[in-house]
Amino acid sequence: MRTFLSHQSHHKPQQQSPTMSSQLTSQDAAAKHRIITHMNADHQDSLIRYLEYYAGLSSFSARNAQLTDITFDSLTIEYSHEQAHRIPIKPPMTAWSEARPKAVEMDTVATRGLGRGSVTVKRYKEPRGWMTAVMAVVVVTALAFSRRANFEPGSILFWAVLQYTPSFANFCWMVQPLVIPLIIVIHGTELWHFERSRLRRHTVRVFSRTWWEWAVSNLVEGFGAFVRFDEVVREEEEKKAKAKH
């Protein structure tokens, strides 16, 4: 996480003049605004994990997490219209300069506790090469088996291809009612596993554009989406490792 604040503000117990007190209040408000803006813009994935781990919400319920308030001893995170959860900060902070390390510490605990990956995937990687070919074959197969009439004389498919292999056309006609349900079961199972082992593990926000891109891609092509997603994870891990040096 980048530094929250360009200026730091501290609470002090001694008596303040009216002018000094007003100045500190203004600094506190500015500090809170910078933290809230930064977290919502750049670290929504952390807010989602906070809600999942510290508040026990599901990834679906936490998907629209927004930080609405922060004090030295708590975070208030809204997760749906007019619904929010207050998460204690333990031990409480004593200065706004502690906000960044405290946020990192809480996120590290949440990530480990949830069994999540060390990086968040925020982008989609398009298929290429053999993956594109596999996707095309699946789409063509689904379209061909979408109705029995495609394997009967008079159809475009029969006229263009199947008239030369009538026995194969007859076989396809017989199994047609089973093919689409089988495709749905196989690819649906793959998507369920993909969501749990990849999308959720790397905090891809549920129903976000990136989530839909990966989900639809996996539903259509299957294995290729697993390969590309793992490539993205490795690339992000390498970037994170380089940033530490």
Assigned domain for 36 exists:
yes
* pLDDT score at 120: 97
Do 140 and 203 lie in a common domain?
Answer: yes
Do 110 and 134 lie in a common domain?
Answer: no
Q: How many domains does the chain have?
A: 2
Instruction: Show which of 81, 114, 147 is a domain's final residue.
Output: 114
Q: Are 3 and 26 in contact (CB under 8 A)?
A: no
Find where tokens 């530094």 sit: 3
Instruction: Show which of 80, 114, 148 is a domain's final residue.
Output: 114
Q: What is the pLDDT of residues 12-30, one digit of tens each?
A: 333 444 433 444 578 889 9
Do 57 and 98 lie in a common domain?
Answer: yes
Tell me, what CATH number does 30's domain have? 3.20.180.10
123-to-85, 117, 126, 208 alpha-carbon distances in Å: 28, 15, 10, 11
Tens place of pLDDT for every residue, the chain, 245 residues? 544 433 333 333 334 444 334 445 788 899 999 999 999 999 999 999 999 999 999 999 999 999 999 999 999 999 987 899 999 999 999 999 999 999 999 999 999 999 999 999 999 999 999 999 999 999 999 999 999 999 999 999 999 999 999 999 999 999 999 999 999 999 999 999 999 999 999 999 999 999 999 999 999 999 999 999 999 999 999 999 998 76
Residue 184: other Cβ atoms inside 10 A: 12
* pLDDT score at 25: 79
* pLDDT score at 243: 85
Query: Three-state secondary structure along the chain?
Result: CCCCCCCCCECCCCCCCHHHHHHHHHHHHHHHHHHHHHHHHHCHHHHHHHHHHHCCCCCCCCCCCEEEEEECCEEEEEEECCEEEEEECCCCCCEHHHHHHHHHHHHHHHHHHHCCCCCCCCCCCCCCCHHHHHHHHHHHHHHHCCCHHHHCCCCHHHHHCHHHCHHHHHHHHHHHHHHHHHHHHHHHHHHHHHHHHHHCCCCCCCCCHHHHHHHHHHHHHCHHHHHHHHHHHHHHHHHHHHHCC
| Residue-number span of the structural domain to which 237 is assigned | 130-243
Assigned domain for 8 exists:
no
* pLDDT score at 5: 38
Do 93 and 134 lie in a common domain?
Answer: no
